[in-house]
Amino acid sequence: MKNEKPGFNLEDLTKKIFAEDEIIALAKENSPRLLHKFRLVYPDFFEKIAAINPDLKNSESIFCIYLKLNLSTKEIATYTFVTPKAIQNRKNRLRKKLSIPSEVDIYKWFNNL
């Protein structure tokens, strides 16, 4: 019998860390596999977003992943081959679609989702 706390499994935690590392690597590569892998690791994430706005496009969902990963505007611009200004505009459009007030830090909003 293992001496573990109920609900705590080191193996599951290790798998999650490796999966998160893989997700970050896929994001940096701007890989088409990013959305699928993220859905496997965080199955509730898109359900929560869909409850707020069910009409998000795939590209907007992928952008949500970048924000959930806490990547800066400059990092997202680099990985997606667009300008930082374009990323800022996307953030503003996404704020409107998800009703995120301008005084709320968008990264905190996604982390609390």
User: Above pLDDT 90, what percent of the chain?
Assistant: 73
Query: Does residue 64 fall inside a structural domain?
Result: yes
16 part of a folded domain: yes
Interval 45-64: pLDDT, tens: 999 999 999 999 989 999 99
The whole-number pLDDT of residue 1 equals: 45
**Mean pLDDT, to the nearest integer, of 30-43?**
90
Whether 18 has a pLDDT exceeding 80, the answer reads: no
Q: Which tokens belong to 38?
A: 């993220």
Residue 3 lies in a domain: no
Instruction: Count the domains in the chain.
Output: 1
Radius of gyration in angstroms for the set of CA atoms belonging to the chain, rounded to a whole number: 16
Q: What was the pLDDT predicted at 12?
A: 66
48 is a domain residue: yes
Please give the mean pLDDT across all residues of the chain.
88
pLDDT at 113: 86
Say if 4 falls within a structural domain: no
Q: Which domain holds residue 39?
A: 10-112
- 92 within some domain: yes
User: H or E element: which one contains 11?
Assistant: helix 10-28
